[in-house]
Amino acid sequence: MSDITRIECGARMSQAVSYGDLIWLAGQVGTAGASVTEQTRAALAEVDRLLAAAGSDKTRILNAQIWLADMADFAEMNAVWDAWVPAGHTPARATGEAKLATPDYLVEVIVIAAKA
């Protein structure tokens, strides 16, 4: 049986958990108070960093959930996403509107990926 590996394990949550060939990331956010573009870039940079730490990369993302504080920001977030996600490697994805942990957060990205 595979071991569970926790990356950046804290008292409340881990930033990433892997089991077998799968990796689950906690919701990634950017700097509170920054623009949607800046927060999306920062969140996706954290996704890149955590996937690398877990032995994977963005070409191996299976599923992405993106939460926006306001769906009016959908096009702005998508402009950053479209520039980041590799052609031919787009995951299944859902985007919705939700109250995030603080009103200063505008976007949160959650992914499940396969190990490389």
- What's the mean pLDDT in 76-92? 98
Looking at residue 11, what is its pLDDT? 97
Q: What angle is formed at CA 11 by the lines to CA 6 and CA 14, rounded to 5 degrees? A: 30
Question: Which domains does the chain show, CATH number per domain?
Answer: 4-114 (3.30.1330.40)
Residue-wise pLDDT for 12-30, tens only, equals 999 999 999 999 999 999 9
- The percent of residues in the chain predicted with pLDDT above 70, rounded, is 99
Q: How confident is the model at residue 65 (pLDDT cuts 50, 70, 90)?
A: very high
For the chain, the average pLDDT equals: 97
From CA 20, how far away is CA 33, in angstroms rounded? Answer: 37
- What's the mean pLDDT in 75-101? 98
Looking at residue 1, what is its pLDDT? 62
Residue-wise pLDDT for 67-83, tens only, equals 999 999 999 999 999 99
Looking at residue 2, what is its pLDDT? 74
From CA 39, how far away is CA 59, in angstroms rounded? Answer: 21
